[in-house]
Amino acid sequence: MDTMMNKILGMTLSLVLFASVVSCSDDDGNDALKVISTDKAEITFAAEGGSDKLIVQSGHSWVAVVTEPWLMVSPANGNGYAECTVTVDSSLVSGVRTAEVRFTEVGGATASVEVNQTGFGKVVSLKESELTVEASAKMDERFCEAQVTANVPFEVQIEYAEGDEEWLSVEDFDLELDRGARPRTLKLRFDWKKNVHPVERVAKVNFLPVNEGDELDAPATLLINQKAALRIEDNRQGDSLALLTIYERLNSMGDPWDTSENMRNWRDVVLWEASDEDLPAPEAVGRVRSVEFFIFNTEESIPQEIKYLRFIESLSVSSNVNTMLKSIKLGPEVCGLEHLKHLVLFSYGITELPEEFVNLGDKLESLDLSANNFSAVPPMLTKENFPKLKSLNLIGNRRWTTRDLRDAESYENGIGLHFNADTDNSLRRLLTWDTLEELLLSNNFIEGSLPDFTPGEDGVRAYNQEDVDAFGGDTIQYLADNNIPRILPNAKRLSINLNFFTGKLPDWLLYHPHLLDWFPELLVFNQQEQGKNSLGEIVRFENVPTSFEYYYEAMPGTREKYELKEEFAE
């Protein structure tokens, strides 16, 4: 019995001791597992931000938190082992910024990972450092774009080679630096002018910080190369190339000329023939004598290639799109044409003539500047400057339409050819141009009264017996006998209708030798319908004749000619 009891007691003691050992062993193991760790103590990111991986090891559940909002971790909680992704946003500052990811285990153990991010430097960078553009293109295609990334305000400075004109301009731009030092990207548009020279040219575009303290990490420079213009030679082939280039640069509409055809068969083009009596030179045979361009869209003057048509005698360029919206200064290129006699610039949008225009004075015989946007008669248009001019057409220089000149100031860029003949000398100057055979001034905004003249003043004289004899005997004897001023004596055409004239018709007009050739009922007497001048007065002449009987009684020799014409018209 004692022996049995000893055995039982021994087994019991052994079980207790075993249990005690096991219990101690479990406690020690729990303490060891309450330690959380990561495989990295520090992570560094560039200014652009990004993501990186790290390993978390723990024996229990854990939670991750970040100390700054620009830092993220995923997953943000777990149990035991996990692979986490740490993500950093693009920096907003120029210096280094620091934050932490803190992993906290249930029970209080913590592991921290330091996250550093370098800041952006001060930068203006370009996607491309060099661009190439054509020598010419349609007007709305003459631009190129450069992609720029920057985190400081900058300005654009353009350098040209010595002797080059300024042919490049940058469109206004707005760099929104709404995220601190984080760079923003934008596209800059550079508009370029045509290269009219047969050599390539280069512009250097520098991007410079606006603020004095902003020093770029590296300079930002863009080279823009422009191709050379085609070389046009002084020959027949050069003329054809010049025509085609002008056609393109005017942005002409419709079908271009068929280059497979002989230039002699091109529409609206006339060449010099060997049989022409007024051939300017033997080498002019086969060269362009006249050409017409019409229906186009340009904001610029006549392309400079016009100068290569050096034997041209007649040039017509008409019908620009949206003419009333344009303000184009005519360039000097056309002014060097040595044989130009007839020039039509109809509905082009011209507001100003160059000083060189007077160079055409010793050859120009007819000039049509109708339907443009002149606000005044160009002062260079005088008899002294253009002694050979026979026809001057300034009809329809109306940018806008109005019947009341009291509203004239409310129109942007003016309403067109508007002046008061009582205070402005322009009309008086034109009327004393005694070699003109045509003076056309209809449909403008000229107000005031028609100038009258006194023989012996302003270079004006009265008709004399020599004039009477030259005209055909006693037909206009009345003019000499009554001391009528000799105004526009050679004018077979005069039109001043649809203006804003008031006052009286002067005797020089009522008894003009060619009055009835002018169709005065339509082209002289009637003014703007329901029109009012700058004083609010109804526009009309006070003494418009009801018939021409007075005219036939004064100059009986005209009755047979004009009464027969009136009978046929009826």
Provide, rounded to the nearest whole percent, the portion of the chain with pLDDT above 70: 93
> Please, which pLDDT band fits residue 52 given cuts at 50, 70 and 90?
very high
Q: Rounded CA gap, 134 and 112, in Å?
A: 60
Average pLDDT, the chain: 90
Residue 188: predicted pLDDT:
95
Residue 268 · residue 255 · CB < 8 Å: no
* Domains present along the chain, CATH in parentheses: 37-117 (2.60.40.10), 124-226 (2.60.40.10), 236-569 (3.80.10)
Which tokens hold the place of 125?
């960078």
Name the residue with higher pLDDT: 510 or 90: 510
Q: How far is CA 192 from the centre of its chain?
A: 11
Which tokens hold the place of 367?
């000039």
> Please, which pLDDT band fits residue 119 given cuts at 50, 70 and 90?
confident
According to DSSP, residue 416 is labeled B
Name the residue with higher pLDDT: 3 or 455: 455
> Please, which pLDDT band fits residue 151 given cuts at 50, 70 and 90?
confident
According to DSSP, residue 355 is labeled G
Residue 17: predicted pLDDT:
36
pTM of the model: 0.72
Residue 9 has pLDDT above 60, yes or no: no
Angle, CA 264 vertex, CA 259 and CA 268 arms, to 5°: 85
> Please, which pLDDT band fits residue 472 given cuts at 50, 70 and 90?
confident
User: Dihedral angle at the C-alpha atoms of 295, 339, 301, 368, nearest 10 degrees?
Assistant: -60
Number of neighbours of residue 213 by Cβ within 10 angstroms: 7
Q: Closest Cα partner for 146 from 137, 138, 156, 136?
A: 156
519-526 mean pLDDT: 97
**Number of alpha carbons in the 13 Å side-chain half-sphere of residue 101:** 32
Residue 216: predicted pLDDT:
86
According to DSSP, residue 18 is labeled H
